[in-house]
Copies of this chain bind each other. A is one copy, B any other.
Amino acid sequence: MDDTGWRPVKRTRTFEDVLAQIERRITEDGLTVGDRLPAERQLAEQLGVSRSSVREAMRVLETLGVVSSQVGRGPDAGAVLTSRPDSALTDLLRLHLGLASLEMREVIDARHMIEQWAAAHAATSGADTSALAAALAGMDAARTAEEFVEHDTAFHCAIADASGNRLIAAIMRSLRDSMRRYSVEAVQRLGDTSVLRADHVRILEAVERGEAGEATRAVSEHLAHAYPALFR
């Protein structure tokens, strides 16, 4: 061991300090969704940094779906704390898929896992299933693959919502969004969507009857129908 006890001095960029201070204020002061942060110029002066650094920190928070900035003047203007993890996750997945650092197979496997979990929990939670039925009707009325996928996504996200876990629902949404194009192609390749319709009805009924095991199986087989190339 030639460990001298020295550690590399971590280069801390100004905007990272700003980020840390804002995060500290959030946790210590118990700030919550809807609260406003100070204006950029004011924050810059209070922290003794330039407005650019504050802005870069804001950009980070906005990217993570924690704040939302509005121009103008008034109660709604400025940086407001929000909670939009969905778009952040979607951007993250889309970019990493574009970089080929993630493969579609991995995304679909993750979806498989989540959908099974969500269906089982939706079945046992006894949550409202009207959104599911509405999405089903939307799929019946769809005239293009794009429309079909849109309502199909709504159906599956509604299951995730019904599971009662917002984190898993957010991940579900992001996974669907990031593979939207792929789903449209899969539906077009499939042509006939009657198989998928029967699957959806089966899932819906299982959830409504509270049969978690059947819901899990139904979802699993449904995904196998929808993406046969990946489940051979």
Contacts and interface: CB of A to CB of B under 8 A. Distances in A.
Interface of A: 15, 23, 26-27, 31-33, 52, 55-56, 59-61, 63-66, 81, 83, 85, 88-89, 91-93, 95-96, 98-102, 106-107, 109-110, 113-114, 117, 165-168, 171
Most buried by B among A63, A88, A114, A117: A63
A166 B102 contact: yes
B168 A106 contact: yes
Given A23-B98, A32-B99, A101-B83, A92 B64 contact: yes
Contact of A26 (B26, B92, B99): B99
A100 B29 CA distance: 12
Contacts of A85: 92, 96, 101-102
Contact of A167 (B27, B100, B106): B106
Nearest to A168: B110
B88 A66 contact: no
Given A59-B59, A89-B92, A114-B113, A66 B99 contact: yes
Contact of A32 (B15, B63, B100): B100
A209 B8 CA distance: 43
B27 A98 contact: yes
A223 to B, nearest CB: 14
Contact of A23 (B64, B95, B114): B95
